[in-house]
Amino acid sequence: MKGVSFHIAYLLTQYECVIVPGLGAFVVSLSSREKTGGEKMLSPPENFLGFNSEIKHNDGLLANSIAQEMKSSYREATLLIEQYVRDILLRLNDGKKVDIPWVGSLSLKNNKKIFQSEKTLSCNASNYGLNAISLPRVIDIQPETSAHPEKKNKKNKEVIWIPVSRKFIIYSGSVAAAILAMCIIPTPLNNEYFNLRHTQYASILNLPAQSIPNVVEAEDVSETEIQAPENASSTEIATSLPEVTNLAQTETKTLHYYIIIASLPDQLSAKKTLAALQSDGFENAAILLSSDSRYRIYTNRFEDKAEAEEFLIQFKEDYPEQANAWVLKHL
């Protein structure tokens, strides 16, 4: 069991006033003492502990702390405090000095209780480890001036020369100009890659005539862009799909009508989209490079306009997801 003195010291770390019933009260206040010396010092906050023998009533703070630690009743804690106070008063009356660890000492002089605080007080526990620091004057922390300012200025003016040949500069400039010219001048593209043979033809169906849609010319077309599937590899597509047919450069000038189901801005996107359409069942689909540099995917082509329009009507009924399909007239 911890003694009553321990609880007094502990409570002083939490409260500003701890009353010992029948003895007095220990009061914590902020010390106004200032340390003086050759230099100004910045000291951590310090508490001052005093004793007031006139405050003797029981506020229950000390008794509750003891009862909680002993796991006993409030009455038992009060009896323990009363016994503690009787022992202190008996020793004071005998002219003895009573020490309370981390608090101070009590003595009796002219029937008055005299309190002397400890150098290490429990009420200053929160400031433990904080040391005072000195505050020097501004003039003491100014940088020292050099005893020889001429040498310092001379050192700052030193210049390092790196010899460079004039021929080397001219040569470097010529190389840079040549590289810049190669980056600016465009390289013509080889259009022979697009002059490939078309191998797929339309299958003509005899369908009932319905309302005939307008045939869209290659120059006046409004189509829907279809993005190519991202999971398709460009290498696999380039090696496994039909080649591009450029009807604008074919030797024959026969006019055809194409059933267009997709239009793409570049060849790679067109091949990816073609692969996706062929996997969905459009095995006759192929790529057409029209005169306006668009890569269009068609399913069938016809030489007769009426047959193309009839096929388009039936095609939209069979494939509702291809409602944007249209007829392109092209050489």
pLDDT of residue 156: 56
Q: Rounded to whole angstroms, what are the CA distances from 71 to 6, 19, 65, 125, 306?
A: 16, 21, 10, 26, 105
**Nearest CA among 278, 267, 263 for reference residue 328:** 263
| 193-330 CATH pick, 3.40.710.10, 3.50.50.60, 3.40.50.150, 3.30.70.1070 | 3.30.70.1070
Residue of 20 and 252 predicted with greater confidence: 20
The top-scoring range by mean pLDDT among 80-94, 130-144, 149-163 is 80-94
Residue of 41 and 262 predicted with greater confidence: 262
Q: Rounded to whole angstroms, what are the CA distances from 234 to 133, 271, 276?
A: 72, 8, 13
Dihedral in degrees, nearest 10, Cα atoms 141, 147, 151, 154: 40
pLDDT of residue 253: 67
Task: Check residue 219 and report its DSSP letter.
Answer: S
Q: Which band of pLDDT confidence, cut at 50, 70 and 90, is reported for residue 208?
A: very low
Pairing label, strands 216-217, 295-302: unpaired
- Specify the pTM: 0.39
Residue 192 has which token pair? 């022979």
Tokens 């062929």, located at residue: 278
What is the mean predicted confidence (pLDDT) over 155-160?
60
φ, ψ dihedrals at 182, nearest 5°: -65, -30
The 8 Å CB, 24+ separation contacts for 166-173 are none
Task: Check residue 144 and report its DSSP letter.
Answer: P
CA distance 316 to 154: 90
Is it the case that residue 200 has pLDDT exceeding 50? Answer: no
Is it the case that residue 218 has pLDDT exceeding 70? Answer: no
pLDDT of residue 203: 40
Is it the case that residue 5 has pLDDT exceeding 60? Answer: yes
Q: Which band of pLDDT confidence, cut at 50, 70 and 90, is reported for residue 76?
A: very high
Q: What amino acid is encoded at 210 in this protein?
A: Q
Per-residue model confidence as pLDDT tens digits over 48-72: 899 999 998 999 999 999 999 989 9
Per-residue model confidence as pLDDT tens digits over 259-293: 999 888 888 888 998 898 888 888 888 877 666 77
Dihedral in degrees, nearest 10, Cα atoms 73, 79, 84, 87: -160
Tokens 């040549």, located at residue: 178
Residue of 316 and 127 predicted with greater confidence: 316
Looking at the chain, which residues constitute the CATH 3.30.70.1070 domain(s)?
A: 193-330
